[in-house]
């Protein structure tokens, strides 16, 4: 069975005052029954790791470079994330694909670097609104997953996040049967690529997950958790999502 994961993507939000949200999460979830991962801006990673101490909340980066070091102004290498205390990294988020032109080839190289640094990879795939309307969702997701997943991926440190681009930050969510179809197809590809180990890779849904819809989404086949943007910024909104996953 795949692990259940509630992951928060803070994007370019958060400063030292935001660590109070971590205190609130720890107080509400002293012994969580699911994995909790928070991916803050890079400036907060080390402070957040120190703040969390022995509690099992994990901390992740939001991207990494494919190289371990070099002349890449503004970038961050996977071993740097690991040294800062991160255990995870989000790769292939649609905002990175759009804002920074990250292709599947680049994302594959980043993933290889992240695995080499000992990080767990939360690999994002998902179609745009135009692709959704053109009924290309399955083809786009299959192509992204196939091309961005390294041949030597470490299955025990791999997490997939299906994030329809048109559902991110919009309040829109695909219908249950649409999520089920995409997650089922992803599971099939993971089986093909990783053999039996593919059955244990968590597949998260991401895109406007809120306290109000979390339980319904977690009831869908092959949904093993969520990658949450806006609602992960406050413990008041993220906690009910974590509880819904614990009870799913």
Active site residues: 93, 163
Instruction: Quote the least distance from Cβ 129 to ligand PEP, whole Å.
Output: 14
The answer to whether 169 contacts ligand PEP (rule: CB under 6 A) is yes
Task: Name which of 162 and 193 has its Cβ closer to ligand PEP.
Answer: 162
Give the binding range for ligand PEP (CB under 6 A) out of 14-22, 31-39, 58-66, 225-233. Answer: 225-233
Considering only CA atoms, which of 153, 88, 74 is closest in space to residue 121?
A: 88
For residue 209, the minimal CB distance to ligand PEP (Å) is: 5
Decide: is 86 part of the binding site for ligand PEP (CB under 6 A).
no
Q: Could you tell me which residues come within 8 angstroms of residue 174 by beta carbon, excluding any fewer than 6 positions away?
A: 164, 167, 182, 207
Q: How far apart are CA 94 and CA 77, in angstroms?
A: 20
* H/E stretch holding 48: helix 42-52
Tell me how many helices (H) and strands (E) the chain has. 10, 8
Q: Which of 48, 84, 141, 209 binds ligand PEP (CB under 6 A)?
A: 209
CA distances from 92 to 104, 150, 177, 190, 216 (A): 8, 13, 24, 17, 26
Q: Report the C-alpha gap between 248 and 25 in whole angstroms.
A: 19
Strand partners, 121: 89, 158
What is the x/- site pattern for ligand PEP, positions 128-167, by CB under 6 A? -----------------------------------x----
Name the residue nearer to ligand PEP (CB basis): 2 or 230.
Answer: 230
Region near ligand PEP per CB under 6 A, out of 16-24, 141-149, 196-204, 205-213: 205-213
> Applying CB under 6 A, which residues contact ligand PEP?
9, 163, 168-169, 206-209, 227-231
């Amino acid at each position: 069975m795949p692990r259940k994961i509630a992951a928060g993507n803070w994007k370019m939000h958060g400063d030292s005052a935001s660590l109070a949200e971590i205190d609130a999460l720890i107080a509400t979830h002293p012994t969580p029954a699911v994995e909790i991962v928070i991916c803050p801006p890079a400036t907060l990673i080390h402070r957040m790791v120190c703040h969390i101490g022995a509690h099992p909340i994990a901390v992740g980066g939001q991207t990494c470079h494919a190289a371990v070091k070099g002349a890449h102004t503004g970038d961050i290498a996977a071993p740097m994330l690991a040294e800062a205390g991160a255990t995870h990294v989000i790769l292939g988020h649609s905002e990175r694909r759009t804002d920074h032109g990250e292709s599947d080839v680049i994302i594959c190289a980043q993933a290889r670097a992240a695995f080499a640094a000992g990080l767990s990879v939360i690999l994002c795939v998902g179609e745009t609104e135009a692709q959704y309307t053109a009924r290309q969702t399955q083809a786009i997701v299959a192509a992204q997953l196939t091309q961005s997943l390294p041949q030597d991926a470490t299955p025990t440190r791999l997490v997939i996040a299906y994030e329809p681009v048109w559902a991110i930050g919009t309040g829109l969510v695909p219908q249950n049967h649409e999520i089920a179809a995409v997650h089922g197809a992803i599971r099939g590809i993971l089986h093909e690529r990783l053999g039996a180990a593919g059955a244990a890779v968590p597949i998260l849904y991401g895109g406007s997950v809120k306290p109000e819809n979390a339980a319904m989404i977690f009831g869908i086949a092959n949904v093993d958790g969520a990658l949450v943007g806006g609602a992960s910024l406050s413990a008041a909104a993220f906690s009910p999502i974590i509880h819904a996953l614990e009870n799913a």
